[in-house]
Amino acid sequence: MTAERFREEIIDHLLHTFGVTPENAGDETYYKAVALVVSDLMRRGRSETEKRAKATHTKQVYYLCMEFLLGRSLKNNLFNLGLEESAREALRTLGVRLDALYDQEPDAGLGNGGLGRLAACFLDSLSTQGYAAMGYSLRYEYGIFRQKLVDGWQTELPDFWLPGGKVWLQEAPEKAVEVHFDGHVEEAWYDNHHTVNHKDYTKVLAVPYDMCISGKDGRAVSKLRLWAARSSDFDMKTFNSGNYLRAVEQNAMAEVITKVLYPEDNNPEGKSLRLSQQYFLVSATIQDIIRRHLFEYGTLDSLPELTAIHLNDTHPVLAVPELMRIMLDECGYGWEAAWDIVSRTVAYTNHTVMKEALECWNQDLFRLRLPRIYQIVEEINRRFCADMHGRGVDGYKVGRMAPLNDGFVKMANLAVVGAHHVNGVSALHSEILKETVFRDFYQEMPGKFTNVTNGIAYRRWVAQANPGLAAFLEKHIGGGYLADAAQLEKLLPLANDGTALRELEQVKRENKQRAAGYLKKAYGAVVNPDSIFDIQVKRLHEYKRQHLNALHILSLYLWLKEHPQADFTPRTFIFGAKAAPGYYFAKQIIRFIVKLGEMIDADPAVREKLKIVYVEDYRVTLAELLIPAADISEQISLAGTEASGTSNMKFMINGAVTLGTLDGANVEIHEAVGDENIILFGMTTEQAEALRQSGYRPGELANNHPVIRQALQLMENGFGGMDYKDLASSLRGSDPYMVLADFDAYAQARQRAEALYRDRQVWNRMCLTNIAKAGRFSADRAIREYAQNIWHADPIPQIPVNKKG
Ligand SMILES: *Cc1c(COP(=O)(O)O)cnc(C)c1O
């Protein structure tokens, strides 16, 4: 689209959609008008994609996830469609700055962290590579809460994102479906047929809101369908009898289902509302998929050949019994035939090995809320157990694998039983799955288990987030890397090119300055762009060990007080993390970090050397600003706890050096870059396990270690008007994530990092090598692996579309 044409369309939307003249429109209206121009284009692209997929009977990929952490869309879409220059020029002639419009867009925060961001990155790659794909999730009215720190304490504010965000959504009321809850099931024999009737249920209407997801160069456009809950009918009788509140209340009860995203990360929320959300997503989605399939092909027999349904984590696993329900109760299938189809259609990705994070639901709650689904789960369970017993599997083991056990519905077990493939998200994680949580299953059905290491939409994380680096890449290796991330390796010959390395250093320096400018503006924080930017941004969780980072900074502080003359490269430590609202201990860690930062700021003897910035409300848009500015990427989870991590990949491709443990995908980053280009420390998974087995005694360790002892004492004595006894005593007491055991190794690793950083040539070469080797962490590669090994799906063939239909 030319700038001229773009301009006309913007004006058209201003006048006719918003009723305002170009002269009177503000940035917010301009943002919406531009978004609508882009949306219109994408919708046309989407119908082309759908037409081509239909004409060629291309297998459809459906990606189900309770979270999609999309961030902003305008810039991404303009970039993918190659329209940024036209838009910029069109707006310039109207006296409007495109960059100012970007800031009008709220983040679509429909996710908590890595899981939801992965889903968003995957949709980008599905489009770019031309698969026939749809994502399904919920249209939460409130996304992930806005974090506000009050004297270091996290408070949560609602994130009402729709006013600015809904321009990207198109309501499709004609595609609404009903979802049924509660009631009871009646079974009968009727004319020799066994019939099942779900009676007296509550109906909730699921209304789709569609968002188009563009791929690079518009090869295909994917659709993200978000369901909103609506009361299915207004109870006129109750209203007319004068019971106004009750009538309105019934409406509100239905709509509450998609009111808020659960702000829990790696931790199940055992509430009935959460179960309702999961079933609501699944039931609406499966009905939608089946309707589309039947319309196209007239039978569900071909479902496994023509659709792949992917469950991102266990949250949408009720897709398995829901598919069974529709086939049995509504399509006349018998159990075996239905089960055969379902279990060849559904696949499942596991995201955690932490036992407390494996979802399970109280059987009674489940039965009351979803009576028919419960019956089906019972039958799946009965048949699975009978089959295992028949194969001579030991009774205890069958119990451990059963979807129903101990009064609970075990969602991960149901997922493994129903799926044809189960994958972990990094090589290490997939191995741990086979040895621990799914050990029993792995012994009985080894062929189901596989690995797909996570990946990122690197075009967003480099070409858009880091324009300086994008220009550097364009200059030295051309633009081919944008379609094929493996081409980043073309950088390797520059490893000894002093001029190129200094250019790269300059790119980083400008990004640090840009980030410093933001930190000044947003927090009044003065940071030195010549200091080492050492960044840990991710959800706050004990296993991620932000407290290891902070404890070490505290020890550095104490050391600098004693060694005022020491030769020391100034450091800026940047933290960004939200804690689950009910995770009290995590909130204490946040406050500890903030207060430590204040103590340092108040101390003229160290404040030129150390600086802590805790950025509020960490989200995708802040990640895009901060990650390109990082020298050091902190990936310090206890080995064996982080499934993969994806921010480690974002940092790597932006030329930061990983300082990390051999955990999650760090293991594969290490493989890719070699010993010289990563700073590893700490116990391996096996060593951590062995230490736990042999009896880990952190209290003793603390007492025998002068540095740790001194730091813990200071926490106990307090500073900044409060003490940090809870944190200190947890570390002394049980230290579940072995912070103290890894402390020395961490301190040494940070010293190595400083030494390496001071040799600019060496450090720049490390950065360059990390960028060059980051191609394998592209989401494009991950999607190709899913498509080939799990979904057995191909991209839509690039043939001219037959215009007849
Ligand atoms: C990538 C990303 C994450 C995931 O970070 P990890 O370090 O992999 O846990 C979380 N939040 C946001 C905003 C992200 O962009």
What integer pLDDT is reported at residue 244 of this predicted model? 76
In short, whether 460's Cβ falls inside 6 Å of ligand 1 is no
**552 flagged as catalytic:** no
What integer pLDDT is reported at residue 249 of this predicted model? 76
Q: What is the largest CA-CA distance in the chain?
A: 94
Ligand 1 centroid–CA 107 distance in Å is 14
**538 flagged as catalytic:** yes
What integer pLDDT is reported at residue 451 of this predicted model? 98
In short, whether 7's Cβ falls inside 6 Å of ligand 1 is no
- What mean pLDDT comes out for the span 334-347? 98
Give the Cα separation of 54 and 60 in Å (integer).
Answer: 10
Beta-carbon neighbour count of residue 36 at 10 Å?
19
In short, whether 619's Cβ falls inside 6 Å of ligand 1 is yes
The DSSP result for 237-270, as a single string, is HHHHTT-HHHHHHHHHHHHGGGTB----SSS---
Q: Do 457 and 468 form a contact (C-beta atoms < 8 A)? A: no
Lowest-confidence pick of 12-26, 226-240, 642-656:
226-240
In short, whether 538's Cβ falls inside 6 Å of ligand 1 is yes
Nearest protein Cα to ligand 1, atom 10: 113
Return the ligand 1 atom nearest residue 71 CA: 13
From the list 225, 372, 650, 776, the catalytic residue is: 650
Q: For residue 77, what are its two tokens?
A: 């879409």
State the DSSP code for 646: S
Tens of pLDDT, residue by residue over 502-546, are 999 999 999 999 999 999 999 999 999 999 999 999 999 999 999
Tens of pLDDT, residue by residue over 382-435, are 999 999 999 999 999 999 999 999 999 999 999 999 999 999 999 999 999 999
If phi over 0 gives left and psi between -120 and 50 gives alpha, with beta otherwise, what is residue 266?
Answer: left
**544 flagged as catalytic:** yes
**646 flagged as catalytic:** yes
Share of the chain above pLDDT 90, in %: 92
Return the ligand 1 atom nearest residue 646 CA: 8
Give the mean pLDDT of the chain.
96
Residue 219 pLDDT > 60? yes
In short, whether 455's Cβ falls inside 6 Å of ligand 1 is no
Q: Tell me, yes or no, if the two domains 265-452 and 475-693+740-782 fold the same way.
A: yes
In short, whether 114's Cβ falls inside 6 Å of ligand 1 is yes
The CATH number that domain 265-452 falls under is 3.40.50.2000
In short, whether 776's Cβ falls inside 6 Å of ligand 1 is no
Tens of pLDDT, residue by residue over 264-309, are 888 777 789 999 999 999 999 999 999 999 999 999 999 999 999 9
In sequence order, which residues have a C-beta less than 8 Å from that of residue 38 and are 6 or more positions away?
Answer: 74, 77, 78, 81, 83
Give the Cα separation of 243 and 236 in Å (integer).
Answer: 10
Ligand 1 centroid–CA 122 distance in Å is 14
Ligand 1 centroid–CA 273 distance in Å is 26
Predicted confidence band at 804 (pLDDT cuts at 50, 70, 90)? very low
Beta-carbon neighbour count of residue 792 at 10 Å?
15
Q: Do 639 and 683 form a contact (C-beta atoms < 8 A)? A: yes
Beta-carbon neighbour count of residue 190 at 10 Å?
9
Is pTM beyond 0.85? Reply is: yes
In short, whether 620's Cβ falls inside 6 Å of ligand 1 is yes
As to burial, measured by CB atoms within 10 angstroms (0-12 exposed, 13-18 middle, 19+ buried), residue 719 is middle
What integer pLDDT is reported at residue 240 of this predicted model? 77
What integer pLDDT is reported at residue 718 of this predicted model? 98
Q: For residue 103, what are its two tokens?
A: 């800031």
What integer pLDDT is reported at residue 353 of this predicted model? 87
3-state SS, one letter per residue, for 285-317: HHHHHHHHHHHHHCCCCCHHHHEEEEEECCCCC
Ligand 1 centroid–CA 487 distance in Å is 25
The DSSP result for 651-709, as a single string, is HHHTTPEEEE-S-TTHHHHHHHH-GGG-EE-S--HHHHHHHHHH---HHHHHHH-HHHH
- What mean pLDDT comes out for the span 599-622? 98
- What mean pLDDT comes out for the span 799-803? 54
Q: Pick the closest to residue 713 from 726, 728, 698 (CA basis).
A: 728
From the list 29, 307, 646, 769, the catalytic residue is: 646
Q: For residue 648, what are its two tokens?
A: 């480690």
Give the Cα separation of 790 and 776 in Å (integer).
Answer: 19
- What mean pLDDT comes out for the span 466-477? 98
In sequence order, which residues have a C-beta less than 8 Å from that of residue 297 and are 6 or more positions away?
Answer: 306
Ligand 1 centroid–CA 771 distance in Å is 19
What integer pLDDT is reported at residue 259 of this predicted model? 96
Tens of pLDDT, residue by residue over 743-789, are 999 999 999 999 999 999 999 999 999 999 999 999 999 999 999 99
Ligand 1 centroid–CA 617 distance in Å is 13
What's the CA angle centered on 594, arms 591 and 597, to 5 degrees? Answer: 145
Ligand 1 centroid–CA 546 distance in Å is 14
Residue 234 pLDDT > 90? no
Q: Domain 475-693+740-782: which CATH class?
A: alpha beta
Q: Do 658 and 651 form a contact (C-beta atoms < 8 A)? A: yes
From the list 180, 539, 547, 750, the catalytic residue is: 539
Kindly list the distances between the CA atom of residue 380 and the CA atoms of 19, 188, 308, 374, in Å, as whole numbers in the listed order.
57, 20, 21, 10
From the list 146, 310, 420, 544, the catalytic residue is: 544
Q: Dihedral angle at the C-alpha atoms of 529, 534, 540, 545, nearest 10 degrees?
A: -160
Tens of pLDDT, residue by residue over 168-202, are 999 999 999 999 999 999 988 777 777 889 999 99
Domain boundaries, the chain: 265-452, 475-693+740-782
